[in-house]
Structure 1
């Protein structure tokens, strides 16, 4: 794996949103993340077998979520696709940015697609982890 990126429309659902019964917002969110990831997955890509870095940016209109609550459902949703197990995530970068900020650098076509939709979204990137011998 070199780089796998995708976007998911809407606001993330917190790991704390678990409910018993028929309506489980957390499970519905994981299913949505997985379905969106599969749309961007190509047959040439290979599931990572080594350490990976997960980068998540939540572009919000109305900030309502702590960044630490965003991660786990996304990690679980893409397990078995981007990587074999979420234990492979050795590096993590999670950010929140106002959707209407001035973003002009490092715009991939996928990220541009998210902004073009004009609503809240998450930009998720999985890349090979940095050298495990480096601390900073």
Structure 2
């Protein structure tokens, strides 16, 4: 089954918070992520029956949080908006790259290119349908 509004992608133009952050600040972060996603989500309702892949690319400056600690809050923020439950996420790709690193931007998704051009910390988020396991290996 092909879901027509996937892949879904957006850019969070802010330094992410770790799952280990103060609970109040973490909830504010999740609310912010959700509002950014709502600005571009085209689906009428959350996806209910699919195996999904969540891809994050964190463009960071100095002393960034661990990539694995920023995934869960972003994933949680999309529950009920993009997908009904985070149990639909079968695959997760998390990437962290320093803004100071030389990176060939030509073949990157447009939003990720924009993140590099802005030269400020941000997170590129993409939700797509999972692929067969052999495509990842």
- How many residue pairs match? The answer is 131
RMSD: 2.1
Aligned partner of residue 107 in structure 1, secondary structure: coil
- Provide the TM-score with structure 1 as the length reference: 0.85
User: Match of 1:15?
Assistant: 19
Report if the CA contact (8 A) 2:7-2:127 is conserved: yes
Matches of 1:32 and 1:130 in 2, distance apart? 29
TM-score normalised to structure 2 length: 0.84
- CA distance in 2: counterparts of 1:135 and 1:113, whole angstroms: 26
Conserved in 1, the CA contact under 8 Å of 2:52 and 2:91? yes
Structure 1 outlier segments of 4+, above 6 Å? none
Unaligned regions of 5+ residues in structure 1, if any?
none
Q: Tell me the SS of whatever aligns to 1:17.
A: coil
Q: 2:124 matched to which residue of 1?
A: 123
Q: Distance in 1 between matches of 2:113 and 2:83?
A: 25
Correspondences of 1:1-136 after superposition (within 5 Å):
1=3, 2-19=6-23, 24-42=24-42, 47-48=46-47, 49-101=49-101, 102-131=103-132, 136=137
What are structure 2's unaligned runs of at least 5 residues? Answer: none
SS where residue 33 of structure 1 aligns? helix
